[in-house]
Each structure stands twice: as C-alpha cells, then as structure tokens.
C-alpha cells in the first residue's frame, strides 16, 4: 500500500495513534527517557501584557491541543444529534444511559477494594473515565469491520463520560475555582450563542471567541478541554454561508485530518510513556492497582451493559442502527480504556508520589485488557454475522 492510500484509509488514524503510544513506552523505558522527560517538561510561556500562561509542554498538549479535539467532538455530536444517528431521542438516550452505568459501577468496584483506607478511597473516580482518543483509535483500526453507527455511539458515550468526569474533577478534585474566570467564559459562550442566533456564518469570530473562552476556562481551574466541547455545540449547523455551506460542517471537515494525524498522535506520545521501573509484586497486588484494573476492565463493561439492557427493556432506548448485541458488548469493553483521562484523575487524587506506580499499573492493565477483549469480541461478532 502506498503512503497516500494508507493516509486516506479509515484505519490510518488508529494505527498512527497506537504506534505513537508504543513509541512513547519505548522512550520511557530506555536510555532515551531523559530526552522524553525533557520534551514533556519543556517550559512554554505565552504572555500578553499582564496575562500569561506558563506551563510545561505536556500541559499545553493536554489542555491546548486536546481542546481542539474536544471541539471536533462537540461538532460531531451536535451534527449527529440534529440530523444524524442520534437525532432519534431513543438513540440519544442510549449513550447517556450507558455512560451513567459506566460511571457508577467502576467507582463501586474501586471503593469495595479501598473502602477502609481514607487515602486510597480518594481515587474512586479513576476507573470511571474513558479515554476517547485511544478507545476511538482502537475502534478505527477495525475499519469497515464495525458499523459507522457504533463509532458514533462510542464517541457519544465517551464524551458524556468525560464531561461527567470533568464535573467530578470540578466538584471533588479542584481545590480552587476562579469564579471570575468562569464567569468570563460564560460571557464568551453567550456571545458565541448570540452570533449563532443572528445567523453569523463567518468562522473567524467563533475562533477568536473560542481562544478567549479556552483561556478563561483554563484560568478558572476547570479542565480547559470543556471549552472545546461547549463551543462545538454552539457553532451553527442549519445556516449556510454564501457558498451554501454550513459553518459547522466546514469547521468539522477542516479539523478532521489535523486532529487525526497531528493532535491525537502528539497527545498519545506525550501521555503514554509509563515507566515500569519500581514495579513489584506488592505494587501489582496493591488494592489501588486491583481496584483500578478491575474497575476499568470489569466495571466499565458491566456498567454499560447492565444500564443499557435495563433501558432497552424499559423501552427507553434502542441499539444503534445495524448494531448487534455482540458488537455493542465489544464497544462496552472498549470504554474500559481509561488511560490518559484516568491517569489525569489519578494525579489529582493522590499527591503522594508513592501512589503513582499503583495508579499507572492499574490503568495500564485495565486499559490493555479492555482493548484486547474489545477487539476480539468485535472481530468474533463480525465473523458470526458474515
């Protein structure tokens, strides 16, 4: 296959994403680790007058580049809700119900193993998060072997899951929230909404407002990627510019390749480098490790399937078009890929550096098992259906 055909293939983004993660693990566990850590901790300063953002490169990637990814997710979700697979209210209810189950059950499993420890219990939310980038990347690697509606469902479940995680972070893991910065972000969103209502189709004003909103959310203490989702939901879909194009679809098309081939691979490389130094049997059997690993691998799939089945039996929702229960179960397994979002919550939950290894081990074990099992179930389901 030529390079051009590979890039144009549906599997290319997933392959490049996974290769970036593997490369990060190699760097983190080799003599190149010094350069890898230097790359992540490279100080980057942006200053305009008295306003400044001074963060290491890793946080610029997580808070800045990923806001663009979340913007694209917001655009896709809005389009699907209005005129796509989620426009039917029963289809829209499905990811909400599934995400709720996927949040509650992993937290209960983790709490069961760590209830008696007042320090360890603070990590109850770690296995409740789904890493959209990696889960979707694994699904994309399967290409046409899975229905497009299943991809949309996974994205919807994961984005609701991560929005809930952001709320959890704001309520339980944020020590200091700036109400002034948060209020300014709401003002920016209100202006963007007003532009939408007035039928403004030029992309420029929304981009400028998006930068302002992102900076305000970043300074507020709330996870900055939320700004991307919020703005994506406001971009106009049903109005057209002079060329007969919808601003939302124009922006979605423009961002897709950049996100797939730049944002997500860079994000994966910067976050997937987990060092295995200091790993012992004791760390593997640590209740935190077990709680996270089982929460992700067992809790996520169980929560998503139980909640969905109850909703289905009560006629509150139905499976995505063309998706079997086997395929949906495969997707439920993929929601157990917590990885970067789980690691992020872990850094907020524990300040003791001794907790870093159990957290990383639990997240890595749970995420890898979820990915392998999810792919296996989806491939088996495809073979049985054919």
Measured over all CA atoms, what is the biggest interatomic distance in the chain, rounded to whole angstroms? 65
* Residues 86 and 156 sit within 8 Å (Cβ to Cβ): yes
**What's the CA gap between 355 and 56, in Å, rounded?**
22
pLDDT of residue 373: 96
324: tokens are 């079997």
Q: Of 17, 10, 23, 26, whose CA–CA distance to 371 is shortest? A: 17
In degrees rounded to 5, what are phi and psi of residue 204? -50, -50
- The pTM for the full model equals 0.78
**DSSP codes of every residue in 206-226:** HHHHHHHHHHHHHHHTS-THH
Is residue 53 within 8 A of residue 211, CB to CB? The reply is no
pLDDT for position 322: 84
The residues, any chain, with a CB within 8 Å of residue 253's CB and separated by 6 or more, are none
Which residues are within 8 A (CB) of 364 and not within 5 positions of it... i.e. 6 or more apart?
274, 339
Which pLDDT score is estimated for 385?
57
Q: Which two tokens stand for residue 255?
A: 């961002």
What pLDDT sits at residue 295?
97
pLDDT of residue 383: 60
**At which residue do the structure tokens 């990060």 appear?**
24
3-state secondary structure of 238: coil
pLDDT of residue 293: 97
Task: Give the residue among 291, 290, 379, 370 at the shortest CA–CA distance from 130.
Answer: 370
pLDDT of 276 reads 79
Residue-level pLDDT, tens digit, the chain, 386 residues: 555 565 555 667 777 877 888 898 899 999 999 999 999 999 998 888 878 888 899 888 888 888 898 898 888 878 877 887 667 776 778 989 999 999 999 999 999 999 989 999 999 999 998 887 778 778 877 777 788 888 888 888 887 887 787 678 767 876 667 888 889 999 999 999 999 999 888 999 999 999 999 999 888 877 777 788 889 999 998 877 777 788 898 899 889 888 888 888 888 888 777 787 767 788 888 999 999 999 999 999 999 999 999 999 998 888 888 889 999 999 999 999 988 778 878 877 887 878 878 988 899 899 999 999 999 999 887 666 55
Distance of CA 163 to the CA centre of its chain: 9
Ramachandran category for residue 339: left, alpha or beta (phi over 0 → left; psi -120 to 50 → alpha): left
Cβ contact 24:264 at 8 Å: no
Q: Which domains does the chain have, with CATH numbers?
A: 3-385 (1.20.1530.10)
Task: Name the token pair of 78.
Answer: 């809005």
């Amino acid at each position: 296959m030529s390079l051009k055909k590979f890039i144009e293939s549906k599997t290319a983004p997933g392959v490049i994403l996974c290769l970036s993660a593997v490369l990060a693990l190699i760097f983190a566990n080799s003599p190149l680790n010094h350069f890898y850590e230097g790359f992540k901790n490279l100080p980057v300063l942006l200053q305009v007058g008295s306003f400044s953002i001074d963060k290491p490169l890793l946080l610029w990637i997580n808070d800045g580049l990923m806001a663009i990814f979340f913007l694209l997710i917001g655009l896709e979700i809005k389009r699907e809700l209005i005129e796509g697979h989620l426009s039917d209210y029963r289809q829209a209810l499905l990811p909400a119900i599934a995400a709720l189950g996927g949040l509650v059950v992993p937290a209960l499993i983790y709490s069961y193993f760590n209830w008696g420890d007042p320090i360890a219990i603070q990590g109850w939310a770690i296995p409740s998060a789904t890493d959209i980038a990696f889960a979707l990347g694994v699904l994309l690697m399967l290409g046409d072997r899975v229905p497009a509606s299943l991809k949309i469902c996974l994205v919807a479940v994961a984005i609701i899951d991560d929005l809930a995680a952001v709320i959890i972070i704001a309520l339980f893991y944020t020590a200091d929230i700036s109400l002034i910065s948060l209020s300014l972000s709401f003002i920016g969103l209100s202006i963007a909404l007003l532009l939408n209502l007035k039928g403004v189709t030029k992309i420029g004003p929304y981009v400028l407002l998006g930068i302002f909103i992102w900076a305000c959310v970043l300074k507020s203490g709330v996870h900055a990627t939320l700004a991307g989702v919020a703005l994506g939901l406001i971009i106009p879909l049903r109005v057209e510019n002079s060329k007969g194009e919808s601003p939302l679809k124009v922006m979605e098309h423009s961002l897709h390749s950049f996100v797939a081939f730049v944002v997500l691979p860079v994000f994966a490389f910067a976050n997937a480098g987990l060092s295995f130094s200091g790993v012992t049997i004791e760390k593997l059997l640590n209740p935190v490790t077990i709680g996270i690993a089982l929460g992700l691998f067992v809790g996520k799939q169980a929560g998503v399937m139980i909640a969905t089945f109850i909703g289905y039996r009560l006629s509150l929702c139905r499976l995505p078009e063309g998706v079997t229960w086997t395929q949906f179960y495969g997707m439920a397994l993929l929601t157990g890929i917590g990885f970067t979002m789980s690691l992020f919550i872990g850094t907020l939950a524990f300040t003791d550096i001794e907790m870093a290894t159990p957290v990383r081990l639990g997240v890595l074990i749970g995420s890898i098992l979820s990915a392998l099992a999810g792919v296996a179930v989806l491939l088996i389901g495809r073979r049985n259906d054919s």
